């Protein structure tokens, strides 16, 4: 999965012959699971049709502030478009548009959106050789980079004029690769290895039955996605769950029992920078597992249980450089019980959720947490989606390891 997966890309197209390549550019972004909206300058429609780009992006194409053909004259809100975007890409970026960007000229919808941008702005120049080398263009490029905009350098090749030289817009695949590399280089967990456990464990009674719990694995999988999107290499050790994940930075290791999860965690822990154990591991397992299915009869069935290995405590005993985070799901004396667990297991932080809080706990799409660090400093959060909760958790971890 690309770091552009799930990203909202606002593509600005200006009036250069290289605009014909934007069909391929949109297609590449969509294939990487990005969401794309397009703003065209009015003159750029002479080079490629809005219909083509709308069909490929699966979104309306914007060009003017008002849809004049609409009797209601619906306003295209440039601020809303700019705030929607995670990434703004202007390609091709003509000398005319670049000059306007550098000097704050705002005479079309694209420039208005650019001036309202809060997200990173990438621009890929496209113009003839002499225009690209002109001192005013060089000054413009320096000014735009000084504003924090990111230049995707033009390449050398045959130009529309017939000349051969610098000024050719980078190819769509190279533009996408440039943005991916740039985003990745700025991610806070780039180069870090993160271990996350998720889901329940199943402890066999016989070949058919098991002892388990109601954990869905949703929280652990959201943590894995967030870590990967922050640039980490993720080892996701998960018990049985229907949750799915598709990210090139995530290695999924499927286990069933607490013993299997214990072995997997110890296999990878020495190389890990951050470990978050969010799995709901069974505390007990049957002392003896029947080889055949236990037949039902009128007599009561007694199963002798024995404790499972405490994975979190075992990692706490051997941790060196690792930042170790546990989870505590409590029903009473929540803070006290969480603090005891934090200290007894030698954790750097613990994430507390209470079954007393509506919307928190197993099999929900939301969670309400309090994070307690090893100094017993506490930070509580409102009820949020588990995706948002995972971001809160990593924000706190990054702040502490930075």
Task: Choose among 104, 110, 78, 99: nearest CA to 13.
Answer: 110
DSSP code string of 185-216: HT-TTTT-EEEEEESB--EESSSS-EE-----
Residue 92, preceding peptide bond in cis (omega within 30° of 0): yes
- What are φ and ψ of residue 234, in 5° steps? -110, 130
Q: Which of 213, 337, 346, 395 does the annotation list as catalytic?
A: 213
Instruction: Identify the DSSP state of 9.
Output: E
Q: Is 59 a catalytic residue?
A: no
Tokens of 188: 């806070």
Q: How many angstroms separate the CA atoms of 319 and 314, rounded?
A: 9
Identify any residues that bridge with 36 across adjacent strands, giving them in sequence order: 9
CA 372, chain centre distance (Å)? 25
CA 25, chain centre distance (Å)? 22
Q: How many angstroms separate the CA atoms of 133 and 200, rounded?
A: 62
DSSP code string of 308-327: PP-HHHHHHHH-SS-EEEEE
- Give the other-Cβ count within 10 Å of 337's Cβ: 17
Identify any residues that bridge with 327 across adjacent strands, giving them in sequence order: 351
Helix (H, G, I), strand (E, B) or coil at 396: helix
Q: Which residues contact 59 (CB under 8 A, 6 or more apart)?
A: 35, 36, 37, 38
Tokens of 77: 């809100």
Looking at the chain, the number of H-run helices and the number of E-run strands are 13, 22
Instruction: Identify the DSSP state of 60.
Output: P
Q: How many angstroms separate the CA atoms of 356 and 75, rounded?
A: 47
Q: How many angstroms separate the CA atoms of 309 and 312, rounded?
A: 9
List residues with catalytic annotation: 213
């Amino acid at each position: 999965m690309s770091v552009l997966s799930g990203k909202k890309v606002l593509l600005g197209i200006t009036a250069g012959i290289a605009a014909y390549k934007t069909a391929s550019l949109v297609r590449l972004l969509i294939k990487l699971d990005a969401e794309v909206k397009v703003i065209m300058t009015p003159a750029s429609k002479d080079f490629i049709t809005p219909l083509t780009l709308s069909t490929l992006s699966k979104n309306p194409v914007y060009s003017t502030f008002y849809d004049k053909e609409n009797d209601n004259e619906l306003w295209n809100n440039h601020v809303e478009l700019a705030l929607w975007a995670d990434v703004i890409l202007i390609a091709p970026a003509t000398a005319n548009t670049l000059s306007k960007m550098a000097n704050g000229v705002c005479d079309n919808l694209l420039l208005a959106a650019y001036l309202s941008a809060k997200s990173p702005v990438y621009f890929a120049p496209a113009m003839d050789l002499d225009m690209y080398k002109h001192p005013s263009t060089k000054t413009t490029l320096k000014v735009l980079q000084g504003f924090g905009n990111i230049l995707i350098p033009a390449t050398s090749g045959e130009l529309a004029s017939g000349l051969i030289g610098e000024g050719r817009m980078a190819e769509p695949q190279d533009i996408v690769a440039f943005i991916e590399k740039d985003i990745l280089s700025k991610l806070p967990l780039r180069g870090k290895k993160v271990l996350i456990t998720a889901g329940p464990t199943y402890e066999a009674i016989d070949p058919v039955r098991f002892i388990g719990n109601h954990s869905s694995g949703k929280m652990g999988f959201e943590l894995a996605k967030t870590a990967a999107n922050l640039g980490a290499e993720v080892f996701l050790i998960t018990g049985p769950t229907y949750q799915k994940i598709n990210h090139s930075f995530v290695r999924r290791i499927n286990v069933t029992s607490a013993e299997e999860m214990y072995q997997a965690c110890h296999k990878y822990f020495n190389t890990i920078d951050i470990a978050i154990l969010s799995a709901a591991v069974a505390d007990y397992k049957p002392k003896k597992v029947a080889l055949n299915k236990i037949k039902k009869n009128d007599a009561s069935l007694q199963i002798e249980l024995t404790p499972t290995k405490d994975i979190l405590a075992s990692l706490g005993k051997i941790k060196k450089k690792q930042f170790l985070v546990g989870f505590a799901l409590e029903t009473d004396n929540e803070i006290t019980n969480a603090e005891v667990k934090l200290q007894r297991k030698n954790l750097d932080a613990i994430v507390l959720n209470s079954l007393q809080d509506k919307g928190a706990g197993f099999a929900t799409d939301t969670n309400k947490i309090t994070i307690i660090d090893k100094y017993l400093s506490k930070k509580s959060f409102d009820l949020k989606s588990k995706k948002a909760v995972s971001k809160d958790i990593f924000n706190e971890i990054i702040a502490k390891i930075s």
